Chains A and B, each alone.
Chain A
Amino acid sequence: MKFIVNALRRVEGDSYVTLNARIYSFLLWGLTNPKVLSPAHTLRQMIRIGVEALPMASLVALSVGFILAMQASTELGKLGANSFIPDLVSLSLLRELGPLLIAIIVVGRSGSAVAAELGTMKVNEEIEALKVMAISPVRFLVIPRYLALMIMLPILTVFGNCVGLAGGWAVCVGTLDMTSSFYITHAVQRPEVWDLYSGLIKSAVFAHLIITIACYQGLGVTGGAEGVGRATTASVVYSILWIIIADAALTGLFFFAL
């Protein structure tokens, strides 16, 4: 164990892969020595990058719930299949739209903030000062943010799913003369546990991508304030790109290959 950790920490260079190697080395180390993971910092980051995204995530999830139900009603209504709307809303949310949209909100809100914050620290020589004090910037700065997002994004996603279902309910009950009990039974019974889990696995993968890309871009800043701006933009653009690619790959894996 110690051997693997040290081997990973010895990796030199500043590529995306080496950043990941360092993160894993500290996580592995944290298994035997939880203090390495600085729980207090992690908690503070969970509040900063997780809890503070709650209002925005709820608003988006609620709107998506509305949209799904309304769009479904126009087409399914023609077929006289309005009773399938709850199934459609809950399946789309759990499997796909919940994880994806919440992740995109978090990219814009927290990923960019992390990239800008670490980038400013880099420009200000703070990262170098940490290294010179023999404090690993990955352990001190990246790990708390990594853990915070890995924990908070799936939680936000579950929460967003619930809010989205409520949005669908409002449309169905308000405009389509559906009873609440009908909506709830269908929306909750139709999805299988795997539908929820597949969404959560997706959101964990997204969290990993968001935070590693943001930290990589932030720590790699060169060239002053302009560099910080470039890194922030790059972190948002690449995160969204890779999230969608990963989503396609995972959807293919979960619902076609397995």
Chain B
Amino acid sequence: MSRAPRQINSGPKKIFQPGEVILEVRDLTMVFGDRRVLDNIRFQVRAGETFVIMGGSGCGKTTLLRCLIGAQKPTSGSIHLFGEDITRMDPIEMDRIRLRFGMNFQFGALFQSMTVGENIALPLQEHSEVDPSLIEMIVKMKLELVGLTGFETFMPSALSGGMRKRVGLARAMALDPEILFSDEPTSGLDPVMTAVVDQLTLDSTRKIGATAVVVSHDMTSVFRIATRILMIGNGPRQGQVVAEGTPEEIRKNPDPFLQQFVKGEADGPIPLRMAQDDYLKHLLGDG
């Protein structure tokens, strides 16, 4: 594979000290058709944090993450990443920002026509002047981190769902990003692998000083890694911030919605099934 030249001048960049605001979201609203999927979301993430976004299925976590990485323009609101508003950026400026973060997609998003090794090597080949033999070594290191030593030559289609997710994580970390965005990195993994991936997230924040923004609804994992948690609601509170705080604050928060989610109970304010009368009306079709 030929190596493309460095095309993006990363320029002088500000190094964020632990505790400085590295990501700030203000009044973010996202509307699809007439559905308000995200409603006035606002929060700050400081460098070195492991910031966990949680919420029920369909509450808009992936949509939020897609806005944060500039894959989608929000309907309104602003997103300041590394101190710059990415909602007003043109594609070239955006590329400069993109080199500084990594994204682990919910479903891996691996390149199906490339081997596992090539998937992880691609960002290195495209964006660094590193020697091919060194790239090979980095690929091995990243694979070792996610417990997939020896799978370099496998095609993504020959991997299990959980293995694909881990390759996605390895690829996201290939360039040692300052911020790691991770969409449900542990869903579909066994308890041991979950712990390994959690440890990996913790290592990147505690040891390397990076920042992690993780979407998760696995409560054990959330409380294991989070330094701060943002809970997004669904149902009548679709896309709104239900609560934000440290794990301790979230545990103590009396909000019944939040408590139901944290404890994983079927009964509570989170509307899942209809009340019997409503159900009958709905089936019979009279309003």
Contacts and interface: CB of A to CB of B under 8 A. Distances in A.
B223 interface: no
A38 B4 contact: yes
Contacts of B123: 133, 135
Interface stretch (A84-92, A119-127, A154-162): A119-127
Nearest to A120: B112
Interface in B92-124: 92, 94-96, 98-99, 103, 105, 107, 109-112, 122-123
B90 interface: yes
B2 A128 contact: no
B127 A134 contact: yes
B5 A33 contact: yes
A122 to B, nearest CB: 11
Interface of A is mostly: helix
Interface in A28-44: 33, 35-36, 38-41
B91 interface: yes
A40 B1 contact: yes
Contacts, number: 69
A193 B94 CA distance: 50
Nearest to B10: A134
Contact of A134 (B1, B5, B95, B109): B95
Contact of B109 (A6, A33, A40, A126): A126
Interface string A60-98: 000000000000000000000000000000000000000
A2 to B, nearest CB: 12
A126 B91 contact: no
B103 A125 contact: no
A33 B90 CA distance: 23
B71 A132 contact: yes
A126 B98 contact: no
Interface size class of A (residues with CB under 8 A): 20 to 34
A12 B4 CA distance: 23
The listed residue with most A CB atoms (<10 A of its CB), out of B7, B110, B111, is B7
Contacts of B126: 133-135
A129 interface: yes
Interface in B1-22: 1-5, 7-8
A40 B118 CA distance: 15
A9 interface: yes
A129 B164 CA distance: 14
B69 interface: yes
The listed residue with most B CB atoms (<10 A of its CB), out of A36, A41, A120, A128, is A128
Nearest to B125: A135
A131 interface: yes
Given A10-B90, A12-B90, A132-B98, A125 B105 contact: yes
A6 B98 CA distance: 18
Contacts of A10: 90-92
A140 B46 CA distance: 34
A129 B109 contact: yes
Interface of B: 1-5, 7-8, 69-71, 90-92, 94-96, 98-99, 103, 105, 107, 109-112, 122-123, 126-127
Interface of A: 6, 9-10, 12, 33, 35-36, 38-41, 120-121, 124-126, 128-129, 131-136, 139
9 contacts: A36-B4, A41-B1, A128-B105, A131-B71, A132-B71, A133-B98, A134-B94, A134-B99, A136-B95
